[in-house]
Chains A and B, each alone.
Chain A
Amino acid sequence: MIVVFYIASGVAILSTFLVILQSNAVHALLYAILSLLSVAIVFFSLGAPLVAALEVIVYAGAIMVLFVFVVMVLNLGPGAEGQERVWLQPRTWTGPVILTLVLIGELIYIFLARPGLALGGPAIGPQEVSLALYGPYLLGVELASILLLAGLVGAYHLGREPSD
């Protein structure tokens, strides 16, 4: 399981990095799906099978399919790819990259400076998660449902043809 964790982590980081570098939207999307799938394997190796399954079904399945659908609707031609390449000049990316490297360096330093406990224990199945979800976190479930309803109404409003 340790080896699985490290390999999946490497794949996740590499594929996320490649998402940034792609100028073709569909290629970037495919790398993003790869990243999500490898994070699902990380979840599984950490003993969270329900969340691993949800990652594949909801993230890689529903959300990314929605992105693919939008790419198809927009029907971006080869001109869009050239435009992306124009935007990806060193002048644009040096500043953010330096700042983000500083951020990553600080985070890694902070985490490694703390004494760590090993992750482990038995896997937590769907039953325990469900009991927690509909027990102490019932308010959170209600809030999430309100948020999803707001998302539904908002998406309907934005997607509607303007009447005027």
Chain B
Amino acid sequence: MAEVPTQYGIILAAILFSLGVAGILLRRNIFFVLLFVEVMLNAAGLAFVVAGARWGQADGFFVLLFVEVMLNAAGLAFVVAGARWGQADGQVMFIFVLATAAAEVAIGLGLLLRLHHQFKTLNVDEASDLRG
């Protein structure tokens, strides 16, 4: 089927992840911050699928790298990440990332609505003081 070099898939994930990081760093609206968390989680999922689409055993370098990307983005699936890197495993990881994203967006949007209710703004800096 596809004859895409592995690095290109990973580089795409890295670029998307970095764009998500840049977005979080330079937007102050909590709505945009949540949106970029979604972008980053999506990039982490892409890295997993690329890893799973590769034939044969992945070497330790790539496995560590994927664990790194995932730890940055999701954080749940690392329990099983070290196990095996066969064919379907990448997609399984993506499903876990998806579940994490769903849980994250529920909490995040709940927090967003509370912030708007409390401070009448979406500026994340307003929430710097917890009980100030």
A-to-B contact residues, CB < 8 Å: 1-2, 5, 9, 12-13, 16-17, 19-20, 25, 28-29, 32, 35-36, 39, 42-43, 45-48, 50-51, 54-55, 58-59, 62-63, 66-67, 70-71, 73-74, 76, 80, 84, 87-88, 92-93, 95-97, 99-100, 103-104, 107-108, 111-112, 114, 116-124, 128-129, 131-133, 136-137, 139-140, 143-145, 147-148, 150-152, 154-155, 157-159
Contact = CB atoms under 8 A, between A and B. Distances in A.
Nearest to A67: B35
**Dominant secondary structure at the B interface:** helix
Contact of A129 (B31, B46, B61, B88): B88
Nearest to A96: B25
Contacts of A144: 76, 95-96, 99-100
Contacts of B113: 70, 73-74, 158-159
Contact of B89 (A46, A47, A132): A132
B14 interface: yes
Interface of A, secondary structure class, is helix
B56 A159 contact: no
A137 B77 CA distance: 10
Contact of B49 (A46, A66, A76): A46
Nearest to B90: A48
Given A48-B94, A80-B122, 9 more contacts: A12-B16, A13-B12, A42-B9, A103-B18, A112-B11, A121-B53, A131-B88, A139-B79, A158-B114
